[in-house]
């Protein structure tokens, strides 16, 4: 896991991380999480029925080509058509040229230049389309921006490829029910 992902997860639980580094001896990371006053019984998770496959053309945008490639491959294996971009500006250009060819956009929130939220707003100004954003770090400011942009689907890293496929199926199914 990247440090930003660890920081995001720990901060989300109202904890913090300290770092101690000594030359030629190494680095120690300490993670501190608040203690609970009482134990809470966690209900057993209910099994969700998997959404049916509905064909879709997906735009995948992540500044880390390796991560985009993993998701692209798993989505293609599931039967989806996927076009992947490692630059949000190039993705927006492609969307401008042929917005009707895409059914869903998936993007990382934290990207250099144009982040996933700004990309989503630009895409939605052209045509309203379902968007899934994902991030390893979602503070209150980013959460507020996501809500203001009207993004309903946000995933938190780390995301396994099969989980991404499951979420894509779910979003496409829910959006098809709402529009049809």
Structure tokens at 107: 């993007």
Q: Looking at residue 113, what is its pLDDT?
A: 93
Q: Looking at residue 47, what is its pLDDT?
A: 59
pTM of the predicted model as reported, rounded to 2 decimal places:
0.75
Q: Looking at residue 16, what is its pLDDT?
A: 81
Q: Looking at residue 167, what is its pLDDT?
A: 96
Per-residue confidence in pLDDT tens, the chain, 180 aa: 567 667 667 776 778 888 888 889 888 888 888 876 666 666 656 656 789 999 999 999 999 999 899 999 999 999 999 999 999 999 999 999 999 999 999 999 999 999 999 999 999 999 999 999 999 887 888 889 999 999 999 999 888 999 999 999 999 999 998 876
The ranges of the chain annotated as CATH 3.40.50.2300 are 57-179
Among 79, 104, 78, CA closest to 91: 104
Among 154, 109, 157, CA closest to 3: 157
Structure tokens at 82: 């996927």
Terminal-to-terminal C-alpha distance of the chain: 40
Helices (H), 40-160: 65-77, 88-97, 116-126, 140-148
Q: What are phi and psi of 47, to 5 degrees?
A: -75, 125
User: Is residue 33 a contact partner of residue 15, using CB atoms and an 8 Å limit?
Assistant: yes
Q: Looking at residue 48, what is its pLDDT?
A: 61
Among 153, 99, 108, CA closest to 5: 108
Q: Looking at residue 58, what is its pLDDT?
A: 98
The verdict on domain 57-179 having CATH code 3.40.50.2300 is: yes
Place of tokens 């100004």: 125
């Amino acid at each position: 896991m990247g440090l930003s992902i660890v920081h995001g997860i720990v901060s989300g639980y109202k904890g913090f991380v300290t770092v101690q580094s000594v030359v030629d001896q190494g680095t120690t990371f300490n993670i501190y999480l608040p203690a609970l006053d009482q134990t809470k019984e966690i209900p057993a998770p209910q099994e969700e029925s998997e959404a049916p496959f509905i064909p879709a053309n997906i735009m995948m945008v992540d500044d880390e080509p390796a991560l985009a490639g993993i998701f692209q491959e798993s989505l293609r294996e599931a039967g989806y058509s996927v076009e992947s971009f490692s630059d949000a500006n190039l993705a927006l250009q492609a969307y401008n040229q042929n917005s009707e060819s895409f059914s869903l956009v998936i993007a990382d929130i934290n990207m250099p230049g144009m982040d996933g939220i700004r990309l989503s707003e630009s895409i939605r100004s052209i045509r309203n389309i379902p968007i899934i954003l994902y991030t390893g770090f979602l503070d209150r400011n980013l959460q507020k921006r996501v809500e203001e942009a009207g993004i309903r689907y946000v995933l938190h890293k780390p995301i396994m490829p099969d989980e991404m496929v499951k979420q894509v199926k779910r979003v496409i199914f829910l959006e098809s029910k709402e529009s049809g």
